[in-house]
Amino acid sequence: MNRKQRISKAKKIPLDKLEKFVKKHPDAFLKEIAEEFSGVSRILCKLQSRV
């Protein structure tokens, strides 16, 4: 029996919207930002490590 390979679509965050949100809410936690942008917490963690 062969397993089907799991395919996940990459989610992108519009950086201009993210930047505006962070400027309005500089003390927001990553969880709050992820809720604003449809729960993309993994992407936000990667972005945070780049900054």
* Residue 24: Cβ-neighbour burial (10 angstroms; 0-12, 13-18, 19+): exposed
Q: What are the distances in angstroms from CA 33 to CA 5, 7, 13, 14?
A: 31, 25, 11, 13
Residue 24: the pLDDT is 94
Residue 18: the pLDDT is 84
Q: Please, are residues 48 and 21 in contact by the beta-carbon 8 Å criterion?
A: no
Q: Could you report the per-residue pLDDT of 28-47, keeping only the tens digit for each?
A: 887 788 788 776 666 666 66
Any idea where the domains of the chain sit in the sequence? 12-50
Write down how long the chain is.
51
* Residue showing tokens 């950086």: 15
